[in-house]
Structure 1
Amino acid sequence: MDTGIEILAGIDDATKCPCIGSIFIAGVVADERLVEKWRKAGVKDSKLLSRKRRDELCRIIRSTALTTSIRHIPPLEIDDKSLNLNSWEMVAFLKLLRNLHRKHRFSRVIVDNWEVSTELFFRRLELLTGRGMAPLLQEKAVLIPKRLHRNIEINPEHQADKNHVIVGAASILARAASDRQYDRYRKLYGDFGSGSPGDPKTRYYVWKHRNNPTPIIRQSWNTYKTLCRLDDFGDDYTQRKKNGDRR
């Protein structure tokens, strides 16, 4: 029986800027009443929360959501330039959308738009689901749903994690997954700092491993490319100032 209560999905990514580890993209499905409960519990953009609070809210979201799903784009994929980063993210988005819809039906999804405009978002979506991309995706063993997105209303929006609680919930799941990955990585590969390109400890880690990079380093980032050229890490500050490096 139709209760008139909308069931919708929210999708967001996390850790797109760091030079260490995966980019995570998470999705969550909930009805309007549950979203309001999350709002009262303090669910919002993960960037505005401490790790302790993110972990608390992550447990609440995972235990009460109609369904959740998380995917990640590992450094090896990020560095694979047969597709650019925005295209890899669209592939992850489409796979996530299919996984969520298989678990629980919904008619609308709000996604934090990583493209510069709504027009470009849908243009990339149509490109990747069109026939022209089929040979490359098949070669890469990338299987993506072709028609599902036509049956769901997709609302890409900039700053959706700030404007919509359900997207904020997705951002919390994505960031918490990244936090857990970083915990594992530190045990396996040592202390790399925050993972941010602006963190001196992270930059030193990348520089130290420049000749034999660990698999957690995004080698296509300017951070790695710049540090590879330095024989002396002490020259890093001068080089960054000169090049205006932001990765």
Structure 2
Amino acid sequence: MPYEAPTHTVERSLRATTGAKLVAGVDEVGRGAWAGPVTVCAAITGLRRPPAGLTDSKLLTVKRRDELAEVLVDWVTAYALGHSSPEEIDALGMTAALRLAAVRALEGLPVRPDAVILDGKHDYLGAPWKVRTVIKGDQSCVAVAAASVIAKVRRDAMMAELDAEHADFAFGTNAGYPSPVHKAALEERGPTPYHRLSWSYLDALPKWRHLKKNRVPVLSGGTPEIEGQLGFDF
């Protein structure tokens, strides 16, 4: 399917209007999954010509996405990944969990960006970060597209590692997202320690719906770090 290659238009605009010299593109993966973390990548690319074929990770085949990720981790100026665990998602809700993962990614960069391009129309990051939201930024902005590919490949790899422990759930192919195999395994075996227990999928599982958790906000400063648990990348 043909697509337009991403550009540095937004980055250039931020430089011209705000004086931002270092601009990070930020994108997430795992928001709609039943299991696993939500993962955010922050990438700084500068204004160099991007690798051929770079676009939103969802528009790429698995093979091409993996190939591009290998190139991107050396091509970008800097990148970092942040994760929020299923437990944190259950406790905080998705918006706050996304912010937590994004802050972890941004603070993992070796340099602090002057501005952030956030994929989508909602700013879940907020102050003190200077944020520009861009709908379909993963298709139109180089830094966001790079972040989308790296985040997707790294999270998929994390979920694939769970296959040996929970083979019936096919995490290696569905990455924790809804699928017929995933649903059948849930009906038979119930949720694993990697599942989000506040998610509505449990409502359709009579045998296991008693495990569903009501979200209880975590007090400020009470959210545990999961850097070691989920492989925070620098």
TM-score range relative to shorter protein: 0.7 to 0.9
Deviation at 1:200, TM superposition (A): 1.1
Partner SS, residue 21 of structure 1: coil
Of 165, 172, 178 in structure 1, the residue corresponding to residue 155 of structure 2 is 178
SS at 1:155's partner residue?
A: strand
1:169 matches 2:182 = no
Number of residue equivalences: 187
Give secondary structure in 2 for the equivalent of 1:196: coil
User: In the alignment, is the contact (CA less than 8 A) between 1:110 and 1:156 conserved in 2?
Assistant: yes
- In the superposition, relative to structure 1, how do residues 21 and 228 fare at CA in structure 2: closer, same or farther (>3 Å)? farther
Q: CA offset at residue 225 of structure 1?
A: 3.0
Conserved? CA contact 2:187–2:207, under 8 Å: no
State whether residues 207 and 224 of structure 1, in contact with CA within 8 Å, keep that contact through their aligned partners in structure 2: no
Q: Of the two, which has the highest radius of gyration?
A: 1
Shift of 1:78: 1.4
**Equivalent residue in structure 1 for 2:41, among 26, 42, 52:** 26
C-alpha spacing 1:191/1:229, structure 2 compared with 1 (3 Å): closer
In structure 1, runs of 5+ residues without a counterpart are: 127-146, 232-247
Give CA deviations for 1:159-199 in whole Å, capped at 9, x if unaligned: 211221210110111101111012101112113132332x1
Distance 1:206 1:180, change over 3 A: same
How many angstroms apart in 1 are the aligned matches of 2:80 and 2:61? 22
CA contact (8 A) 1:13 1:26 kept: yes
Matched, 1:154 2:167: no
Kept after mapping to 2: 8 A contact 1:26/1:68: yes
Of 164, 180, 190, 1:200 maps to: 180
Instruction: Please report how far the alpha carbon of residue 112 of structure 1 lies from its aligned counterpart in structure 2 after TM superposition.
Output: 1.1
**Aligned pairs for 1:217-232 within 5 A:** 217-229=195-207
Q: Structure 1 length as normaliser, TM-score?
A: 0.69
Report the counterpart of residue 167 of structure 2 in structure 1.
190
How far, CA to CA, are the matches of 2:189 and 2:207 in structure 1? 12
Write the mapping of 1:31-42 to structure 2, written as runs, cut at 5 A: 31-33=46-48, 36-38=49-51, 41-42=52-53
In structure 2, relative to structure 1, the CA distance for the partners of 1:165 and 1:191 (3 Å cut) is farther
Q: TM-score, normalised by structure 2?
A: 0.72
Q: Which residue of 1 aligns with 2:106?
A: 97
Contact 1:66–1:104 (CA<8 Å) still a contact in 2? no
In structure 2, how many angstroms separate the alpha carbons of the residues matched to 1:208 and 1:217? 15
Q: State the 1:107 CA deviation.
A: 2.1
Q: Moved runs in structure 1, 4+ residues, more than 6 A?
A: none
Q: Which has the higher helix share?
A: 1
RMSD, aligned α-carbons: 2.4
Aligned equivalents of 1:222, 1:105: Cα separation in 2: 37
Alignment equivalent of 1:48, drawn from 36, 52, 59: 59
Displacement of 1:105 in angstroms is: 4.5
- Aligned counterpart for 2:24 among listed residues 1, 5, 9: 9
Identity of aligned residues (%): 28
The partner residue of 2:189 within 200, 209, 212 is 209
Which runs of no fewer than 5 residues in structure 2 stay unpaired? Answer: 1-18, 210-234
**Aligned partner letter, 1:32:** L
